[in-house]
Amino acid sequence: MTPSRKHDDERTRIRKAMDRLLNGQPSASDGGLTVVALAAEANVHRMALMKRHADLKNDFYERVRVETQQVPEPEKRLRETVTKLKKTIANQRQEIEELRQLVTNLTMASAVLLQEQNSPAEPSPTPDNVIALHPPTAP
């Protein structure tokens, strides 16, 4: 069989396999609406379907979407992955914000400690408009 004839024969088998799967009449696969089932049903290697007959693979998924009102399995998995990744991003953004607040608080605490360390031992005089809650104790 010439390569062109073999190619045409594969495409014909794939189209017939599509019809069988979409009609719920699988003969050589588990009947799933996946590329794996389509390849098994057409007796074509899965990678041949993915590489040489990518247009038929896309047609199959489009027919699955239109004729069965179902979302193809790869699209479902991608949507689940996108949902998980969005949740991960939201959690990471929240964690980053919390870490930024912590850095700010630690920086301010460090500045206060440095200020106290560098300040003179005697307390600064109390302004006239401040009343002490506890009178200073005599030494």
The whole-number pLDDT of residue 92 equals 97
CA angle (65 as vertex; 64, 67 as ends), nearest 5:
65
- Domain ranges, ordered by start, for the chain: 8-70, 73-110
* Selection from 14, 77, 73, 78 nearest residue 46 by Cα: 14
* Contacting residues for 96 by C-beta, under 8 A, at least 6 apart: none
Question: What is the value of pTM for the model shown?
Answer: 0.54
H or E element: which one contains 59? Answer: helix 54-68
Q: Round to whole Å and give the CA distance between 16 and 73.
A: 21
pLDDT digits (tens, 9 = 90+) for 68-122: 888 877 888 899 999 999 999 999 999 999 999 999 999 999 998 888 888 766 6
Residue that is written with structure tokens 């009178």 in the block: 135
